[in-house]
Amino acid sequence: MNDALLLSRYKLITFLACRRRFQLRYLAEAAWPAAPLAVADEARLGLGQQFHQLVQRHFLGLKIEPATIDDRTLRGWWLTFERFLPQLPHGRALPELTLTIPIGQHLLHGRFDLLIIGETDGRAFAHLYDWKTGRQPDETTLRHDWQTRLYLAMLAEGGQALWGEGQTPLLPEQISLTYWYVTAPTKPHTFVYSPAWHKQNWTEIRAIVAQIEAQPNTGGVWPLTEDRAQCRVCAYQALCGRQEVDTPALSATEVAVSLLAGEADEETDDLLALPLEPALP
């Protein structure tokens, strides 16, 4: 294909799940129905978004008065954040930062909850922070998550632009990413990037982009996934003739989460990537 694409982690995930879904969703822009979220799930998603907005306002220097937060759960999350926020490095704090870098003829796009850039002992550093309101997965799962891999790789390939012209590229070992979960506030996970990890990540990301480029650009149908389980949570079953999949049906919440997980909004994506069960602090 010839057209330049803006590729987020969810678009890469979608392509890996099913090439036809990627084609329908992002190239043909076939309608992707709104998900029938249960009231409780929808409320939790809304609270997660409000929590991210509170944290963003905090890092923009605005004072947050807990007493003005009406929702009890949200107020509890905020108090937990205030109490257990990890020690941050000294540097320039950039909340809700969007970074877009070229990859071949395409662009990789990511939005970070918080990026702190600065210098330690004369060496530049970049430290990403990501706030989560769901359950904390184990470290191996987080390490292999495309958010971890793509965001670290993007900073290694294009993060120097944040310092302005003349900055030499950041070395992978100068880049870190911390996940902080409101449900496990004393156990943040920090990943320090490395040259070997970056080589592996970037090679794989480039290979996926090359596979996208190799797909036909002439209106032909891109390959349908052989993993029928993907079809169970796909809005395009009827377009593919896959309404009758012989696998157990998912719950309404599982379907809803899968349907919504294609949203372009990276913040919403973050929320949807996690379990929706209420997890009060």
Q: Which is nearer to ligand SF4, 174 or 258 (CB)?
A: 258
Residues 85 and 93: beta-carbon distance below 8 Å: no
Q: Which is nearer to ligand SF4, 97 or 224 (CB)?
A: 224
Q: What DSSP assignment string belongs to 154-191?
A: HHHHHGGGGG-TTPPPPPGGGEEEEEEETTEEEEEEEE
Q: Which is nearer to ligand SF4, 234 or 256 (CB)?
A: 234
For residue 110, the minimal CB distance to ligand SF4 (Å) is 24
Report H helices in the chain.
Answer: 9-17, 19-22, 39-59, 72-84, 139-144, 146-158, 195-213, 228-232, 237-240, 252-260, 266-272
For residue 39, the minimal CB distance to ligand SF4 (Å) is 27
For residue 23, the minimal CB distance to ligand SF4 (Å) is 8
For residue 172, the minimal CB distance to ligand SF4 (Å) is 34
For residue 235, the minimal CB distance to ligand SF4 (Å) is 7
Q: Which is nearer to ligand SF4, 70 or 226 (CB)?
A: 226
Give me the residues that bind ligand SF4 (CB under 6 A), please: 18, 20-21, 24, 224-225, 230-231, 234, 236-237, 240, 242
Q: Which is nearer to ligand SF4, 45 or 259 (CB)?
A: 259
Euclidean distance between the first and the last CA atom of the chain, given in angstroms as a whole number: 48
Q: Which two tokens stand for residue 215?
A: 């797909």
